[in-house]
Structure 1
Amino acid sequence: MLPLMYPVLLAQAPAAFVSPAPPAQRYIVEQQDVRPLPGQLDNIPVFNSNSPEVIEGAGILLSTFPRSGTTHPHAHLNQTLEGRFDFFSHHISRPAGEKLTLYQGVLVYNASSRPVTLQVHQAVSYLNSHDAPFIDLPAQLEDPYGSIYSGPGSRLAGDVIRGVNQPYFPSQLVLRPRELRMLAVMPIPVSSARSTLMRLESSGPVYMANLALYEMPEYTSVLDLNDPTNEEPVTKVTYNPPTMRDWQNLLTQGRLATPRDRAPSNSTERYIYGRVAGISVGSEWNATLTDQPNGNTLTIPQPGESFSYPLSTTDTGTHGTDQIQSAPMLVRYSDTALRAHGNYAVHYNLKLPLHNDTNRTQTVFVTVQTPLKKSHLDDRLVFLNPPEDRIFFRGSVRLRYRDDFGRDQERYFHLVQRQGQRAEPLIEVRLRPGDRRDVQVDFLYPPDATPPQVLTVSTLGRRNLAIESPSPNPPQ
């Protein structure tokens, strides 16, 4: 684009140098089945901290501690965690005042009268400013080594499904009866976002808190050695991470962090989901996708046809399946989401036992797509050509299967999908008549993405059912 200081040059530019108008956006309607996703979320609790997403002031992000003995009881949810549970958080630091580094502190308290061991089975945390900057990437890249990512949520999702465990988290904490310990202290520089996921297991009941504090100033008086004639000391200011006492004071005396996000509303005029802060229920969705409940095969589509399963559906985006996959909330703050919409960091572990019931060899494709969100109509998906510019999904997916030569394959793909994007197939397999082939799909829903996506199975052949139209509902 020419700078504003050259208006005459712009006015006199030949027509050949004027950028053409962008093509008109049109809808692509795929007539196909949209099926409810078999299975369900497990019962693993998730300490789910995503509100406020943008932090401007110090405070309590999420606390399950008891309310008694605290200055602001409404900032605590009074809920213990025991056995297997997860910790997830995603927050951005934008201080309203002095531009200081924010620290995120995770506190754990043994609520019992006996020692408790907290195992850290896996822990991953990334910053966009240092570890995983947002960069422009192609829509689909194969990523065998985990070196492709854009943003902390993207990198986190790829590492978690690979089993990466960062070494600077402890492998375990042993807490004495009634002992309070720090599990992690993580800096979030100004205007940075941090995404964190931990798979944890406690041998007894514990309370947990996720807190936000800025680095603390320390003032010292020193003589100016460069000016020997000046005997007056000068004040020197240094900034240090918060101490354990600072964290304890915030836990017992602090308020909820600000600014608060918009409260949820299911008004018919405008549906507001809100952001999540509480204990959600569900860490994994395990399912075998079959033709019938308790079946053992998934019959491939007829040549030229497809069917899809929505992933991470919400109240207003079920694609006609009436299936809301958002995790329920065990406890939450009153101004935060009613469900864990988006299912950030939930692992979809899906098995597709593909079966060719035709008398010819068929080529089958497996694809992840981002159609326009719909509440109704389970007989079509609607895409945009070209897609909207806004990115709806950045993350990784793993596919495991036996290829056409009988070799076991494990392939990772990094995807960047915009609203309404059809996407290219991830893999293709050729099934002889009567063949069955298992395809395993691992899909960790990344933070900072927008649902829903769909998992689509297609069979190669002449397609007559895709309609390009200026309307999402063309005449039949």
Structure 2
Amino acid sequence: MPVPAPSPASVPSRRATPPQELVLPPEQLPPQEQLPVQEVFHPQEVRPLPGKLDAVPVFNSNSPEIVQTEGILLSTFPPQGKLVPSAHLNFPFQGRFDLFSHHIARARSASETRTLFQGVLVYNPTNQPIRIDVLQGASYLTRPDALFTSLPPFVEDPLGTVYAGPGSRVVNDLLRGRRSWSPLLLIPPQQAQMLMNLPIPVGNVAPSSNGRSTLLRLQSSGPVYLANLAMFAPRNPDGGERVPTLDEWQTLLVNGGLAGPRDIPPTPMPTGSSQTKSVIERVFYGRVAGVAMGSQWQAKLTDSPKVDHLSIPQRGKAFSYGISTLYRGTLGTGQVQSAQMLVRYPDTAYQANGNYGVQYSLTLPLKNSTKQSQTVALAIQTPVKQDNNRGGLLFFKPPENRVFFRGPVRVRYKDERGVLQTRYIHLVQQRGQEGEPLIKLNIPGNSQREVQVDFIYPPDSTPPQVLTVRTLSDTTIGDAR
């Protein structure tokens, strides 16, 4: 059965909803007095990340981020028979695929406070029934599900109760294997069903806003087309709001154009010989609306493809691997990890910059080839974005008051007794923040210890980051944070 739509009683009442204010992440609030910033440069090697994205297609809907006119957010339906053919990208999904969506409803005045609904329509074009298995799935609003609360930079989270913002909460659920979604959607031949029909309420008081983040991992038994649509709540005869029906969504799909207002279009990317000659003062990456290729980046980090270990740095030294590197932000590695767009609207991003919703699964078989025990620290860090190789990473002290990473990281390893340990840590990092160690491991001389680091790149973050391996100057007895 599809995810049940909220009942009319659950639609925010015009009279019952308490006053709400404009909801902003802490870093977007009016600036407070900032201490003088010192640049800190760490000379070290920055390596491209081994491995690559898999070939799982991702229905990626993030443009327009702020939705104020109803219409089509993203449609992969065929254009034939549609009033606005250019709004349909003609891409069928079959087998494994993901759905990522993040949109915000905003009311600037009292006349704009009607509830915005988001509907995901799935169509079966074949003559046989098709089943869609929801392997994992979560969807949360900013208010009341996941407010942008201020959190410390490093919080142990064994129960999965630490999050700030809907993107942080969604990836927290999926990283732990949770599914807050109906597990099965059956679609009769040549018919459509709603995979999602949920509100983004803004309340009665303007200005106000609210956002919804959604991430689904799906498996289809046959080809299907998807459309993500935005519609203001229809009215009952008494003037109250109600949930849109399947027929109303289908009418919007056939007759509607793209929702708006449109975001700033991306800066054209240089191609061929022009790429080395082009100097662009400022790059607008654009927001994503299309089908990206890649749901997971899985890699074993070793000295080379010919060996099965990763030699730790010399004592007091470090090296890093780029995470979510992007065009004009490769940290000197030359590696762009942003997912390729298989289809997209012309005014949206050329690549899925940020890889929001992509799971990074990284194995580090750390080897200490010295005779003495060494203590190795692993950390996620957010250096200042750069593209050229400057021989290291630049940080700010204190970091700039702008959150660039906000989400959970899972670390698995065997402790010194050989017992498998799993730890979940919620990180909040600002631009230029060095970051605390996820873990410190004591590795005896001439021995090896393996660590697994997993995270789903969270929405509301800004790339790139790095995963840093550092051998500490002082040896720590036993494992510690």
TM-score (norm 2): 0.87
**Which position in structure 2 is the counterpart of 1:319?**
331
Q: Secondary structure at the match of 1:160?
A: helix
Cα deviation 1:200-222 (Å, max 9, x = unaligned): 01111100000011111122xxx
Taking the TM superposition and a 5 Å limit, the aligned residue runs for 1:34-49 are: 34-49=46-61
Aligned to 2:260: 258
Q: Is the 8 A contact 1:371 1:419 kept in 2?
A: yes
Q: Which residue of 1 aligns with 2:83?
A: 71
Cross-structure match for 1:418? 430
Instruction: Check conservation: 1:55, 1:95, Cα contact below 8 A.
Output: no
Compute the displacement of 1:186 (Å): 1.3
- Following TM superposition, by how much is the alpha carbon of 1:95 offset from its aligned partner in structure 2, in angstroms? 4.2
**Equivalent in the alignment of 1:136:** 150
Question: Which stretch shows the higher mean deviation, 110-119 or 301-310?
Answer: 110-119
State the distance in 2 between where 1:285 and 1:42 align.
Answer: 6
- Cα deviation, residue 154, structure 1: 0.8
Q: What's the offset of the Cα at 1:404?
A: 2.4
Residue in structure 1 matched with residue 275 of structure 2 by the alignment: none
Aligned residue identity for 2:120 = V
Describe the SS at the equivalent of 1:240.
Answer: coil
Deviation at 1:443, TM superposition (A): 1.4
Instruction: Indicate yes or no: 2:163 matched with 1:149.
Output: yes
Q: Offset of 1:378 from its aligned partner?
A: 5.6
| Native 8 Å contact 1:35 1:378 kept in 2 | no
Q: Is the contact between residue 214 and residue 241 of structure 1 (CA under 8 Å) also seen in structure 2?
A: no
In structure 2, list runs of 5 or more residues that go unmatched. Answer: 1-31, 203-208, 269-278, 475-481
Q: Structure 1: any 5+ residue segments left out of the alignment?
A: 1-19, 220-235, 463-476
Residue of 364, 378, 389 corresponding to 1:366: 378
Matched, 1:404 2:411: no
CA distance in 2, matches of 1:46, 1:378: 34
1:379 maps to which residue?
Answer: 391
How far, CA to CA, are the matches of 1:22 and 1:310 in structure 2? 29
Match runs of 1:159-238 below 5 Å: 159-166=173-180, 169-190=181-202, 191-219=209-237, 236-238=238-240
Give the distance between the partners of 2:414 and 2:296, measured in 1 at CA: 24
Give yes or no for the alignment of 1:271 onto 2:271: no
- Residue type matched to 2:159 in 1? Y
Change (3 A) 1:63 1:376: same
Taking the TM superposition and a 5 Å limit, the aligned residue runs for 1:341-352 are 341-352=353-364
- The amino acid of 1:111's aligned partner reads P
Once the two structures are TM-superposed, the CA of residue 354 in structure 1 deviates from its matched residue by 0.2
**Tell me, what secondary structure is at the counterpart of 2:248?**
helix
In structure 2, the residue corresponding to 1:308 is in which secondary structure?
strand
Secondary structure of 1:271's match?
coil
1:73-112 to 2 correspondence within 5 Å? 73-95=85-107, 97-112=111-126
CA contact (8 A) 1:404 1:429 kept: no
Other-structure match for 1:224: none
Give the counterpart letter for 1:176 in structure 2: P
The partner residue of 2:70 within 46, 51, 58 is: 58
Residues 1:456 and 2:474 aligned together: no
Structure 2 CA distance, aligned partners of 1:269 and 1:24?
26
SS of equivalent to 1:260: coil
Taking only the aligned residue pairs, the percentage that are identical comes to 53
Structure 2 counterpart SS, 1:313 = coil
In the alignment, residue 255 of structure 1 is paired with which amino acid?
G
Verify the 8 A CA contact 1:326 1:343 in the aligned structure 2.
yes
Alignment of 1:320-335 (within 5 A): 320-335=332-347
TM-score when scaled to structure 1? 0.88
Asked if the contact 1:372–1:383 (Cα under 8 Å) also holds between the matched residues in 2, the reply is yes
C-alpha distance in 2 between matches for 1:23 and 1:134: 23
State the number of aligned residues. 426
- State how 1:237-252 maps to structure 2 within 5 Å: 237-252=239-254
Give the match's secondary structure for 1:124.
strand
Relative distance call for 1:171 and 1:23 in structure 2 (3 A) is: closer
Q: CA deviation at 1:23?
A: 3.7
Per the alignment, do residues 430 and 109 of structure 1 end up closer, same or farther by CA in structure 2, a change over 3 Å counting? same
Distance 1:21 1:180 in 2: 54
In the aligned structure 2, how far is the partner of 1:171 from the partner of 1:272? 38
